[in-house]
């Protein structure tokens, strides 16, 4: 009788289950105080892959799904590290909460509009983490630790944000791969099981080297086929231009974007009075994208200068000049006013309307440079994966340069005029003048 009465007083919390295409079923009840905030729920209407859905119809998954998946993967990783006494329980709980919040500052359409915001995603996410201090503490996580991870002050934040091994990186590789190419990096589960945090550094067991190399190779495959796919980057640039014109006409402010969802932004574009934004949005709704007309690439990956079978005027330049072009301040996606001015000058050279030219710079060029991985060996030594497999890293760097392209685009009816050799060469000379 006593045991029955004691059992009657036991309160067993009901799990709050998420069914996820990557991990299956997992419980998010410990962090419901964060999940149920307006800021986190808004991530459900922010596409993870921006404009990629125009090319890959299934690529409509959200930042919310990615954040929940990153939380689960980090929670599992933290539990392993706690069992190995690599970190404390308090650190593990804070790490999982940080993983849940790591993308909470993303603006509408994720990275597409990030360059138009006052801060980048990490800075915006840190601001929201500070705003949600009470909700984070209510989840049982140490708020000060979560804030230090979000600010990048503690090396433990690499468990989530490392460019090779972070749980959010591995999550989006799997999630994005399944939504676009119907594939995922082989051995990624094995890799997660063999990542450690030792002496303030992230490292892998030497048994997982092949899986780490496969993840890096898959990353390059995704960049070629998804992240840098021509139609996607052109659509991305079209949307950036629309939003920039909304800002110019005072229909929205830069500080509005982080709280805005995809649907809210599209709703504003649907009724905008700004002529440029309205015309571009009408094209986007019909998927009438601007067409590649002039392309500048690394000379090693082009077949010479001239008009291709697809009507694109292509030119190759030496590696050093291509790197300078990619890094030129005037040609960065964050410098929208400069791009607008260059488009107007190109239109003048080609004798076209200003709205008929779209400059598409190289987005996120820093991501093409492969990052090294530390390998932990049985005797307690660390070894560089780059030193162990230099040819692998050289190959990735070469592939990254092969994918880089600077494009000038136009509507179909204006392509022929822009791609004539005389006009194209004058335009290319103008563009390259910014990289000298």
Per-residue burial over 205-221, b if 16 or more Cβ lie within 10 Å, else e, is beebbebbbbbbbbbbb
Within 13 Å, how many C-alpha atoms sit on residue 313's CB side? 19
The continuous run of DSSP H or E covering 407 comes out as strand 406-410
Residue 370 DSSP code:
P
Count of positions (residues) in the chain: 436
Q: How high is the pLDDT of residue 204?
A: 98
Q: Which residues, given as ranges, of the chain have pLDDT below 50?
A: none
Q: How high is the pLDDT of residue 252?
A: 97
Instruction: Compute CA distances 2 → 8, 9, 10, 103, whole Å.
Output: 10, 11, 13, 49
Q: How high is the pLDDT of residue 320?
A: 92
Q: Which residues pair with 313 in a beta bridge?
A: 294, 307
Q: Are 414 and 300 in contact (CB under 8 A)?
A: no
Residue 389 DSSP code:
-
Q: How high is the pLDDT of residue 286?
A: 96
Q: Is 376 left (phi over 0), alpha (psi -120 to 50) or beta?
A: beta
Domain architecture of the chain: domains with CATH: 14-228 (1.10.3210.10), 290-362+404-436 (no CATH)
Q: How high is the pLDDT of residue 364?
A: 74
Q: How far apart are the C-alpha atoms of 165 and 161, rounded to whole Å? A: 8
Q: How far apart are the C-alpha atoms of 81 and 368, rounded to whole Å? A: 31
Handedness of CA 101, 102, 107, 109 (dihedral sign): negative
Q: Which residues pair with 360 in a beta bridge?
A: 407
Instruction: Compute CA distances 108 → 112, 150, 246, 335, whole Å.
Output: 8, 20, 14, 19
């Amino acid at each position: 009788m006593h045991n029955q009465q004691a059992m009657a007083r036991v309160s067993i919390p009901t799990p709050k289950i998420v069914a996820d295409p990557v991990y299956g079923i997992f419980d998010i009840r410990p962090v419901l105080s964060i999940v149920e905030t307006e800021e986190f729920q808004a991530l459900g209407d922010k596409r993870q892959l921006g404009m990629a859905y125009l090319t890959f119809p299934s690529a409509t998954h959200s930042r919310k799904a990615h954040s929940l998946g990153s939380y689960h993967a980090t929670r599992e990783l933290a539990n392993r590290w706690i069992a190995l006494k690599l970190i404390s329980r308090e650190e593990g709980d804070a790490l999982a909460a940080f993983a849940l919040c790591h993308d909470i500052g993303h603006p509408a359409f994720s990275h597409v509009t990030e360059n138009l915001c006052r801060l980048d995603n990490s800075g915006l996410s840190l601001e929201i983490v500070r705003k949600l201090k009470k909700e984070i503490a209510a989840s049982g996580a140490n708020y000060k630790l979560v804030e230090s991870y979000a600010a990048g002050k503690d090396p433990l934040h690499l468990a989530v944000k490392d460019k090779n091994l972070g749980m959010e990186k591995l999550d989006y590789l799997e999630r994005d791969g399944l939504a676009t190419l119907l594939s995922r990096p082989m051995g990624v589960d094995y890799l997660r099981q063999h990542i450690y945090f030792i002496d303030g550094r992230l490292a892998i067991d030497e048994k997982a080297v092949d899986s780490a190399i496969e993840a890096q190779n898959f990353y390059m495959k995704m960049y070629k086929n998804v992240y840098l796919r021509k139609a996607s980057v052109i659509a991305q640039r079209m949307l950036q231009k629309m939003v920039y014109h909304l800002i110019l006409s005072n229909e929205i402010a830069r500080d509005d974007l982080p709280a805005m969802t995809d649907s809210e932004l599209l709703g504003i574009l649907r009724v905008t009075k700004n002529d440029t934004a309205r015309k571009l949005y009408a094209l986007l709704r019909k998927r009438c994208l601007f067409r590649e007309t002039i392309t500048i690439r690394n000379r090693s990956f082009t077949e010479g200068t001239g008009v291709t079978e697809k009507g694109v005027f292509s030119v190759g330049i030496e590696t050093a000049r291509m790197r300078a072009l990619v890094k030129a301040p005037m040609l960065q996606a964050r410098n929208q006013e400069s791009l607008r001015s260059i488009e107007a000058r190109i239109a003048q050279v080609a004798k076209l309307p200003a709205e008929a030219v779209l400059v598409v710079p190289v987005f996120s060029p820093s991501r093409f440079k492969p990052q090294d991985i530390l390998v932990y060996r049985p005797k307690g030594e660390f070894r560089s994966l780059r030193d162990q497999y230099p040819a692998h890293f050289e190959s990735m760097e070469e592939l990254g340069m092969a994918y880089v392209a600077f494009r000038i685009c136009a509507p179909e009816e204006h392509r022929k005029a822009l791609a004539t050799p005389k006009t194209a060469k004058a335009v290319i000379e103008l563009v390259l003048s910014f990289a000298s």
